[in-house]
Structure 1
Amino acid sequence: MQDVLKRSWPKDLSQTLVYRGGEKPLHEYLNQNAKERPNDTAYIFYGNEITWNQLNDDTNRLVHFLKKKGIKKGDCIALFMQNCPQYLIGHYAIQKLGAIVVPLNPMYKEAELEYLVNEVSIKAIISGQELYERIRNVSGKIPSVEFVLTTNYADYLPNENDITMPLPDELKLKKRNIKNTFDFIEIIKQHNPLDETAEIDLWEDVGLMVFTSGTTGRPKAAMLTYGNALFKTATIVQTKNYNEETRTTAISPLCHIAGMLMGVNIPVYSGCQTVLFTRFDAEAAITAIEKYKINSWYTVATMNVAILNHPGVEKRDLSSLKTNFATSFGIPVNKQLADDWSKLTGGCILCESSYGLSETHTADTFMPIDKIKFGTCGIPTYDTEIRIVDIETGKDLPPGKQGEIAVKNKGVFKGYFNRPDATLETLRDGWVFTGDIGMIDEDGYLYFNGRIKEMIKSSGYSVFPEDVEALMKEHEAILQVAAVGVPDTVRGESVKAFIVLKPKYKGKITESAIIEWAKQKMAAYKYPRKVEFRDSLPATSSGKVLRRLLKEE
């Protein structure tokens, strides 16, 4: 395989990974940027140009508050916000204390929050003010939470006359005082910066826990070390040639592992300038490219299509874009899309970003831009081994043969928090057995062909059947339920629920009523878009529902 990779490796790219500032936690890179380039712009938030010094200073002020509140190394602190500067400040303040960042998707509803908070005994939550009611509604059921900070995203907007892009609705919300919580911006104003960091064992101490399915079951917390984050960040920066001259964007959700890498980690490690959005909006993205001369960015393919179809886009100037690494969620990154994008932008290269998963801090491959092969995920990144394993025999398969993808590198997680059996199933002798089906060709390029596990991939998010089913069972009319993924041209997959009603509810409730109920209880990407009532569900002799048979139908 190494000989194959040497053939496919880009000619101008070093075959050795070099850490820009040495092997140290990413928050120390933030300190370094603040010392070496204090007045350079780090992030731009709808016109507010935040310098490295301000970002680090606000982070250290939050460090002071959190330490006063007793937060210490190993404590789990949740971030429950849309993309915003407060997210970045919270992330690095938590890690400077040696505590553990736990991202919570802002689409989560009460039942989801209750389960996840209790799963890892979260000690404190930093929340967007518009999301706090969900926390309050389950406050009596999450005993580990000692305090909550809330924030209005608009606290980090510039003056009204200096706003440079269209504002989404969440940035127009009126600021309000919320009882029994601490206000984020007031905390920043009231505390002096505490320039202090915990002693970190880079490759052993956990700095991040992200919820994922593993191979089966409800969400589990994958434990990722400070070193995992450094390694994957460094590989992306080196393979994609990010540096202080790069001007990019952070559009994907920061709570998602890919969005975190691109929006939280890479800017701090590389020192590049980043335009931060709370969410994707075609007009705002186009405006940012034009005004700030964005030259490299990460997208999901649907974003590119939205811009291509935006009224009047052919008259806009997107010529600053040189490289665009994208992920095929819902729409494939193929040659036709790349050609259309190149024509619109005057030559920007569009290609697949990478293959990866939460358990490896993602980005286990990269696409050589001088040797793009559409339909693949590129080649293994630095110090990474990828095997294709026969599902039945466990033996390695040769190029061109399809089997389970297994990955090994310094990004591999430590295991699932308090889930030893699940850890043993996924992590074997340092290899992550992904549950994904794929193959490697003669040139070392990886093809992703589907999933062994029953996880559903909807709009880029992982949806776990057991999680949907547990939430659906809270409905008084449901006796039995099985959730499967079905093809969706927009989302990639969406959830379909097969339901057996309790006898007294048969004929008295409709599928659409169930869907509407679920919509109010679950994140938008998770709730079933289709419901089918059944008299019974296929099951084994022990009673385990056979989702596979339902999916095959």
Structure 2
Amino acid sequence: MLADQPLHEHLRRHAREKPGAPAIVWYGRAITWRELDGWSDALGAHLQSLGVARGEPVALFMNNCPQYMVAHYAIQKIGAVVCPCGPLNKAHELQYQLSDLQARVIIAADNLLPIVNQVRGQTALQHVLAVRYADLLPAPPAIDLPAELQAAPAPLPAGCTDMLQIAKQGAQAGQAPGPENIAMDDIALMTYTSGTTGLPKGAMLSLGNALFKASVTARSNGIGPGDVALSVAPLYHIAGMLMGVNVPILVGATQVLLFRFDPVAVLQAMDRYKVTHWYSIAPMNVACMQVADHHHYDLKSLLRNPVTSFGITFTEPLAAQWQAFTQGPCLSYEAAYGLSETHTMDTGMPPDAIRWGTHGQPMPGVTIRIVDPDTGAEKPAGEVGEITVRSPGNFKGYWQKPEATAATLRDDWVWTGDQGKLDAEGYLTFVGRTKEMIKVSGYSVFPEEVESILIKHPAVAQAAVLAEPDADKGEVVKAFVVRKPGAEVSAEELIAWSRDNMAAYKVPKHVEFIDALPATGAGKVLRRLLRPG
């Protein structure tokens, strides 16, 4: 491998060494290494022609598709910064992120262009490049398409440019970006996260952070060029990005990419393409095992299946059930502990020494300490404290938020705000979050963001949001609402309004009306006093 080279240079290497081999398989259409490299080169050149400079944020607003991969590497090839925006975001949420970034360019799926147009006049956007999910689909598809991909593509509205057309035409003309003096310490990704509290913040991650975590993840999981990896997790999420965008590009593995999770499509893909590696979320495994005609699918090729517990805990009996279901040598285990600020995968489960109930041991090059959150004193083995992490994967800080950076990144240690413990053999057990972020089916929900939208309702004077345990989703959102004097709104009406104004996973499942929110003398809401008990 090329030491200390950005991941896009590994993409170029594979394009030279095996140009006609499949890099991505998209419902039966193979995108070769030559195509992926050439299209991203041409798109990078186009972005430069728009004046996109080294270090400039470029927003991505789409679900899983090959074009996401093209855009990601095009941006990084010119030294610009990939800034994923969750495709479930509504106008309020997209406007916040674009305004925070002062982004001039966005690459968005065509079905999301109405949201982009809603906020375009309130942001710094100058250029909109559009993506049609269906453009690279084969006819007929080799596996079942989700409903979202079955509609015929509509003409693009005025003011938008067809991204794939630019990439294909530029590649045919041999266009490539001009040279940039790119360094491994350059910021290449900003993924929005809560940090410790408050509205989402852009965690700045470098080319070196991405290479380090991709390298240790590939080695620890035994992923190599001969693997066929199934990518279902969202590419815009840090875990899906590591496992779907970065690791296959580093090692040169073929990636079978799905738009979203569908249990039948997963089984079809495993059978048809002889998938060897799949990173999944525990409910996905359960859903696959519930497919009525699952015995028609040959799943024996699957060798490794790291799993993240969300909503359903991935236990040893469940792993044994999954192995019996695949009827092969598949080894399944809890995937890891990690967070956006560390490019995730700070721990990994040794496949030959699985310890159920833990999240594995620190990855090579990663140091984890459990400390007293008040004194910083290190806790002995077995005692619970705050998880702190130091590694070459640690982020460079939060975009334009020095105070938040100083609170989280201290002397090269990331103070996670999470509670955990290490045993005598160094296995980490995650205990809980001290930060106020809510995890709904694996998605991060930031209380202040939901609150800021709720108070836009004409009947709402104040709102406070908390996590409420949920058997299916892990946690759901509960809102405490103070009505304006004389205003009338029911819980059902406010929940219905929320569905129209925020991403589905952020919508409160329960609303409780109260007369006043508990607050300090300075007016800061004390959410903890709203918790039962």
Question: What's the TM-score bracket when you normalise by the shorter of the two chains?
Answer: over 0.9
Residue in 2 that maps onto 1:459: 441
In the TM superposition, 1:94-109 aligns within 5 A as 94-109=75-90
Shift of 1:140: 1.1
Preserved contact between residue 61 and residue 188 of structure 1 (Cα < 8 Å): yes
In the TM superposition, 1:202-217 aligns within 5 A as 202-203=184-185, 205-217=186-198
Could you tell me which of 177, 181, 189 is aligned with 2:160?
181
Residue in 2 that maps onto 1:416: 398
Shift of 1:250: 1.0
Preserved contact between residue 62 and residue 193 of structure 1 (Cα < 8 Å): no
Separation in 2 of the partners of 1:458 and 1:62?
A: 35
Residue in 2 that maps onto 1:361: 343
**Paired residue type of 1:225:** S
Preserved contact between residue 129 and residue 160 of structure 2 (Cα < 8 Å): yes
Could you tell me which of 413, 433, 452 is aligned with 1:470?
452
The alignment partner of 2:531 has SS state of helix
Residue in 2 that maps onto 1:298: 279
Separation in 2 of the partners of 1:80 and 1:390?
A: 39
Pairing 1:128–2:106 present: no
Preserved contact between residue 58 and residue 193 of structure 1 (Cα < 8 Å): no
Q: Write out per-residue CA displacement over residues 5-60 of structure 1, whole angstroms, 9 at most, x where no aligned residue.
A: xxxxxxxxxxxxxxx32111101111000001111111100000111011111111
Residue in 2 that maps onto 1:385: 367
Residue in 2 that maps onto 1:532: 512
Residue in 2 that maps onto 1:12: none
Shift of 1:481: 0.5
Pairing 1:227–2:208 present: yes
Pairing 1:512–2:492 present: yes
Could you tell me which of 67, 91, 97 is aligned with 1:116?
97
The alignment partner of 1:416 has SS state of coil
**Paired residue type of 1:478:** V
Preserved contact between residue 64 and residue 193 of structure 1 (Cα < 8 Å): no
The alignment partner of 2:449 has SS state of helix
Residue in 1 that maps onto 2:297: 316
Shift of 1:193: 3.4
Separation in 1 of the partners of 2:223 and 2:67?
A: 24
**Paired residue type of 1:300:** I
Shift of 1:315: 4.0
Residue in 2 that maps onto 1:441: 423
Pairing 1:168–2:146 present: yes
Could you tell me which of 5, 11, 14 is aligned with 1:33?
14
Separation in 2 of the partners of 1:52 and 1:137?
A: 37
Residue in 2 that maps onto 1:287: 268
Q: Write out per-residue CA displacement over residues 162-211 of structure 1, whole angstroms, 9 at most, x where no aligned residue.
A: x11111122123222211110122212432333344221102x1000010
**Paired residue type of 1:514:** L
Preserved contact between residue 436 and residue 453 of structure 1 (Cα < 8 Å): yes
Separation in 1 of the partners of 2:458 and 2:284?
A: 39
Stretch deviating more after TM superposition (306-315 or 97-106): 306-315
Separation in 2 of the partners of 1:279 and 1:41?
A: 20
Pairing 1:58–2:36 present: no
Q: Write out per-residue CA displacement over residues 61-103 of structure 1, whole angstroms, 9 at most, x where no aligned residue.
A: 2122111111120111011011001100000000101000000
Preserved contact between residue 440 and residue 446 of structure 1 (Cα < 8 Å): yes
Q: Write out per-residue CA displacement over residues 352-406 of structure 1, whole angstroms, 9 at most, x where no aligned residue.
A: 1110000000000000011101111100001111000112322100000000000
Preserved contact between residue 234 and residue 269 of structure 1 (Cα < 8 Å): yes
Stretch deviating more after TM superposition (435-444 or 519-528): 519-528
Shift of 1:542: 2.3
The alignment partner of 2:121 has SS state of helix
The alignment partner of 1:302 has SS state of helix
**Paired residue type of 2:42:** R
Preserved contact between residue 11 and residue 33 of structure 2 (Cα < 8 Å): yes
Separation in 1 of the partners of 2:513 and 2:393?
A: 43
Aligned residue pair count: 528
The alignment partner of 1:57 has SS state of helix
Separation in 1 of the partners of 2:293 and 2:145?
A: 20
Preserved contact between residue 486 and residue 551 of structure 1 (Cα < 8 Å): no
Separation in 1 of the partners of 2:339 and 2:532?
A: 25
**Paired residue type of 1:537:** L
Preserved contact between residue 130 and residue 156 of structure 2 (Cα < 8 Å): no
In structure 1, stretches of 5+ residues that fail to align are 1-19
Preserved contact between residue 63 and residue 193 of structure 1 (Cα < 8 Å): no
The alignment partner of 1:133 has SS state of helix
Separation in 2 of the partners of 1:444 and 1:188?
A: 47
Separation in 1 of the partners of 2:108 and 2:303?
A: 36
> Using a 3 Å threshold, how does the CA distance of structure 1 residues 27 and 57 change in structure 2: closer, same or farther?
same
TM-score by length of 2: 0.97
**Paired residue type of 1:513:** E
TM-score by length of 1: 0.94
**Paired residue type of 2:107:** I
**Paired residue type of 2:128:** V
Shift of 1:537: 1.8
Separation in 2 of the partners of 1:224 and 1:193?
A: 30
Preserved contact between residue 199 and residue 448 of structure 2 (Cα < 8 Å): yes
Separation in 2 of the partners of 1:286 and 1:434?
A: 36
Separation in 2 of the partners of 1:193 and 1:529?
A: 52
Q: Write out per-residue CA displacement over residues 113-170 of structure 1, whole angstroms, 9 at most, x where no aligned residue.
A: 111001111120000000000010111101x211001111111111x23x11111122
Residue in 2 that maps onto 1:250: 231
**Paired residue type of 1:538:** P
**Paired residue type of 2:463:** V
Residue in 2 that maps onto 1:195: 176
Residue in 1 that maps onto 2:220: 239
Shift of 1:314: 3.5
Preserved contact between residue 517 and residue 525 of structure 2 (Cα < 8 Å): yes
Separation in 1 of the partners of 2:301 and 2:250?
A: 23
Preserved contact between residue 457 and residue 463 of structure 1 (Cα < 8 Å): yes
Separation in 2 of the partners of 1:510 and 1:219?
A: 29
Preserved contact between residue 354 and residue 364 of structure 1 (Cα < 8 Å): yes
Shift of 1:462: 1.2
Could you tell me which of 481, 485, 488 is aligned with 1:499?
481
